[in-house]
């Protein structure tokens, strides 16, 4: 058992307790960040004259060799080590001797792991932002191609008013664009370096924390050493942002599942993102969309788990905080895989435009415009609302739409109806005359698509805080 403590202990730790306490099973994922942070730390130690330049060179070279051997499969990370920190230090000492024992000078595992997680999450925030860019780009391309694809808009899952596919998908563009900016906010707050905080009270060594932060491309050092080692706010914020992303993906998945049903038949999902039934040969199931919807609860669980873990912890570091990693790693992996798969599914999905338009026509989505028509003819809105309601009841009995009624039939309900009613309540008219900002009219949507293209072109420019290299 390789560990970084034990001098004051006379007996060996219980084997089961060792395994229960150890984090090597999951924090081995942080090896690259641990090497990165350790190299910056010894560079600073040499600059401050705490260790020699030769010792710093030996440590840095040794760490690079260990990382290379692990990545190439020449060196295995085993459970004889308590954590990734002890693995690296033990192997470094084996390779370079006493110089390796100086790597930990002026540092605690508390500020070391706090640094590793910030470095790791910093990369994952950027990686998630890249996945969001892909879905935003895909959405805007589909919007551009479907400015005149009519479909019913819904409230309460009931057909309400006609919109376009571009308008409907534009709502999801806005959601995911807000998600991207939430990530930028998370990045801004997490990008401070805790290294040099020690166990909780700093150190008597003359460390240059500003220099270490600069070497690691942080905005600066954290301001309070106790907060530095016990803070997981940035991780809670990131998990919260991931949960909102999954909520948006889940809502979208729910719509894809409904649209894919035989009753709607709005979309055809590519075979690459569907599965069949073991007993019913006719089935083609939207399993990817269903799994994205299902995995949302898994990410919510990670957020709730960390909130519950942190709520009762006194300052400063406590071992409970070790529970931050497994749930976070799982949530991050889950969200990124969901974003990639959903984007690919969306990119290959076929939209059944004729079926969408027929559904809008059959669903009385023109009723509001019919009422507005009467208002423009001098009928008070409340009276017009009642007249159109009675016409809808009549159409339900006849199993037809408003536009299927003759002008004579319409005049029985209101004498103000003229032949121009049919043009006034056509899907084209209903959609095209809605031109205010955010509305589904093609001119309004052309502006929205152009605005989205500008947003995408400036995506990384507007997120300069993501630049860490």
Neighbouring C-beta atoms of residue 42, cutoff 10 Å: 26
Tokens of residue 104, six digits: 């930990």
* Two tokens, residue 379: 């009928």
3-state secondary structure of 90: helix
Q: Is 168 within 8 Å of 373 (Cβ atoms)?
A: no
Place of tokens 């730790």: 13
Cα Rg of the chain (Å, integer)? 30
Distance CA 353, CA 446 (A): 19
Residues 6+ apart with CB under 8 A from 167: 153, 439, 440, 445
Distance, in Å, from the CA atom of 335 to the CA atom of 242, rounded to the nearest integer, reads 7
For residue 395, give the nearest of 411, 382, 410, 380 by alpha carbon.
Answer: 410
Coil, helix or strand at residue 449 = helix
Q: Which residues contact 103 (CB under 8 A, 6 or more apart)?
A: 38, 41, 42, 59, 89, 92
| Integer Cα distance of 415 and 411 in angstroms | 5
CA atoms within 13 A on the CB side of 55: 21
DSSP code for 4: S
Q: Which of 38, 108, 156, 225 is catalytic?
A: 156
For 212-254, where are the E strands, in sequence order? 220-221
Q: Which residues contact 398 (CB under 8 A, 6 or more apart)?
A: 404
Compute the distance between CA of residue 237 and CA of residue 191 in angstroms, rounded to an integer. 13
Between the alpha carbon of residue 52 and those of residues 42, 49, 101, 400, 402, the distances in Å are 9, 6, 13, 88, 87
Selection from 8, 15, 32 nearest residue 80 by Cα: 15
Q: Which two tokens stand for residue 298?
A: 């898994």
148 catalytic residue (yes or no)? no
Catalytic residue list contains 328: no
The one catalytic residue among 277, 305, 337, 426:
277
Strand ranges (DSSP E) for 183-307? 192-193, 220-221, 267-268
- Cα separation, 133 vs 198, in Å, equals 38
> Cα separations (Å) of 96 from 75, 90, 103?
16, 10, 11
Contacts of 132 (CB under 8 A, 6+ apart): 176, 179, 180, 183, 245, 339
Active site residues: 156, 277
């Amino acid at each position: 058992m390789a560990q970084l403590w034990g001098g004051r202990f006379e007996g060996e730790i219980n084997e089961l307790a060792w395994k229960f306490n150890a984090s090597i099973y999951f924090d081995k994922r942080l090896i690259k960040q641990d090497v990165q942070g350790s190299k910056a730390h010894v560079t600073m130690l040499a600059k401050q004259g705490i260790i020699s330049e030769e010792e710093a060179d030996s440590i840095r070279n040794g760490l690079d060799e260990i990382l290379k051997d692990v990545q190439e499969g020449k060196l295995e990370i085993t459970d004889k080590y308590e954590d990734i920190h002890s693995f690296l230090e033990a192997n470094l000492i084996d390779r370079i001797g006493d110089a390796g024992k100086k790597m930990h000078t002026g540092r605690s595992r508390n500020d070391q792991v706090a640094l590793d997680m910030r470095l790791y999450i910093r990369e994952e925030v950027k990686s998630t932002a890249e996945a969001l860019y892909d879905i935003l780009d895909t959405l805007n391309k589909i919007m551009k191609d479907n400015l005149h694809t009519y479909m019913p808009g819904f409230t309460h899952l009931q057909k309400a008013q006609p919109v376009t596919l571009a308008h409907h998908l534009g709502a999801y563009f806005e959601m995911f664009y807000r998600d991207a900016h939430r990530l930028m906010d998370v990045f801004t707050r997490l990008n401070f370096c805790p290294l040099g905080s020690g166990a909780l009270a700093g150190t008597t060594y003359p460390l240059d924390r500003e220099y270490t932060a600069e070497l690691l491309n942080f905005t600066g050092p954290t301001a309070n050493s106790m907060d530095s080692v016990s803070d997981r706010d940035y991780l809670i914020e990131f998990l919260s942002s991931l949960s909102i992303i999954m909520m948006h993906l889940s809502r979208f998945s729910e719509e894809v599942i409904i649209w894919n049903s035989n009753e709607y038949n709005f979309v055809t999902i590519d075979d690459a993102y569907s599965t069949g039934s073991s007993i019913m040969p006719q089935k083609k199931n939207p399993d990817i969309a269903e799994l994205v919807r299902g995995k949302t609860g898994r990410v919510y669980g990670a957020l709730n788990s960390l909130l519950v873990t942190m709520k009762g912890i006194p300052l400063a570091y406590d071992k409970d905080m070790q529970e931050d990693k497994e749930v976070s790693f799982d949530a991050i992996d889950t969200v990124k895989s969901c974003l990639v798969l959903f984007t690919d599914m969306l990119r290959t999905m076929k939209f059944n435009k004729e079926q969408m338009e027929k559904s809008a026509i059959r669903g009385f989505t023109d009723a509001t415009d019919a009422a507005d028509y009467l208002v423009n003819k001098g009928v008070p809105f409340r009276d017009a609302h009642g007249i159109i309601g009675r016409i809808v009841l009549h159409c339900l009995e006849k199993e037809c739409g408003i536009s299927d009624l003759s002008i004579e039939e319409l005049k029985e309900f209101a004498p103000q109806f003229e032949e121009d009613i049919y043009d006034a309540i056509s899907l084209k008219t209903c959609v095209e005359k809605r031109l205010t900002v955010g509305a589904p009219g093609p001119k309004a949507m052309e502006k929205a698509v152009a605005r989205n293209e500008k947003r995408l072109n400036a995506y990384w420019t507007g997120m300069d805080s993501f630049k860490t290299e």
